[in-house]
């Protein structure tokens, strides 16, 4: 966790250099997790969804959360993002405990620091593509002019030139999902949560969305948690974890 360790620094050493090194080590955070779920438990009625789920994600890391349908992946994502609060366990964002905050403070935190991309985009049909992208900025109080200017900047980068004025009914699934991605990133979130972001797309469109998502996240240093059952999507992540029966295990990792 991104906090100094609370325990003793270990046995005293005789060498001054070693003592100094120990003190420095004690002052360093043990790990640099930006977000961390600790031993989460949550049931829906009599259905257990999380049964001791723990997951830490480092700053700038892209983690894929895989596992069978119904294993608790989305519930874990929703707990990390403060949408759901577990019955037991803790969620930390840096040095801040997230799960004990009020609903109001959790939603302010989601608005100001998190971005979201869900399956099939969920664009607001009454709004144009650029208004959809600008939405997180408008909701956090940015004036319309600057919000629309910021939104429009995403269109060329995502291959969406000249689609700014279209409504979701006039867009392909792949285009709508890229607009949803721009909306997730427009406010420069510290964390991006994506739940099956390519679920409704064919493999070519899915690949394009994942290329854009990972490139944008790396460029902006965004930390990303992606829920997916698709190994091709997970292949873009730095690390993969697997959720089974409400607990998290390691599947494989391309980085330690
Ligand atoms: P996954 O994302 O891995 O498919 P979920 O986290 O959606 O799994 O669901 C985990 C378990 O919790 C499943 O048994 C699911 O049916 C149940 N569940 C999830 N959300 C709800 C809900 N809102 N109401 C009732 N049961 C739910």
- Token pair recorded at residue 161: 């030139």
pLDDT in tens, 83-118: 999 999 999 999 999 999 999 999 999 998 999 998
Whole-Å CA distances, 243 to 32, 105, 145, 251: 22, 28, 43, 9
Domain boundaries, the chain: 36-253
pLDDT above 70 for 11: no
The rounded percent of the chain whose pLDDT value lies above 70 is 85
* Whether 213 contacts 181, CB under 8 Å: yes
Is the CB of 74 within 6 Å of ligand 1? Answer: yes
Distance 73 CA to ligand 1 centre (A): 8
User: Would you state the pLDDT for residue 1?
Assistant: 40
> Which ligand 1 atom minimizes the distance to the CA of 195?
2
> Which ligand 1 atom minimizes the distance to the CA of 67?
3
Name the closest-CA residue to atom 12, ligand 1: 49
What CATH number does the domain located at 36-253 have? 3.40.50.300
Name the closest-CA residue to atom 22, ligand 1: 44
Kindly indicate the confidence band of residue 63, based on its pLDDT and cuts at 50, 70 and 90.
Answer: very high
**pTM of the predicted protein model:** 0.84
């Amino acid at each position: 966790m991104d906090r100094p360790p609370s325990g003793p620094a270990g046995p005293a050493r005789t060498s001054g250099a070693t003592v100094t090194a120990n003190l420095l080590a004690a002052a360093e955070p043990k790990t640099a997790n930006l977000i961390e779920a600790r031993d989460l438990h949550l049931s829906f009625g009599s259905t257990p969804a999380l049964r001791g789920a723990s997951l830490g994600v480092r700053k700038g890391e892209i983690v894929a959360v895989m596992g069978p349908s119904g294993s608790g992946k989305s519930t874990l994502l929703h707990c990390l993002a403060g949408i759901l609060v577990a019955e037991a366990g803790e969620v930390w964002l840096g040095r801040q405990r997230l799960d004990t905050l009020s609903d109001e403070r959790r939603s302010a935190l989601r608005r100001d620091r998190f971005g979201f991309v869900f399956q099939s985009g969920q664009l607001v049909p009454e709004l144009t593509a650029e208004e959809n992208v600008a939405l997180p900025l408008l909701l956090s109080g940015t004036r319309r002019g600057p919000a629309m200017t910021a939104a429009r900047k995403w269109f060329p980068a995502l291959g969406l030139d000249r689609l700014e004025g279209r409504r979701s009914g006039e867009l392909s699934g792949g285009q709508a999902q890229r607009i949803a991605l721009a909306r997730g990133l427009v406010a420069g979130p510290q964390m991006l949560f994506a739940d099956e972001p390519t679920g409704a797309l064919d493999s070519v469109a899915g690949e394009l969305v994942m290329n854009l998502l990972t490139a944008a996240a790396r460029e902006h240093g965004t930390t990303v948690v992606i829920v997916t059952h698709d190994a091709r999507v997970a292949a873009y992540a730095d690390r993969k974890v697997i959720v089974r029966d409400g607990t998290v295990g390691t599947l494989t990792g391309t980085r330690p």
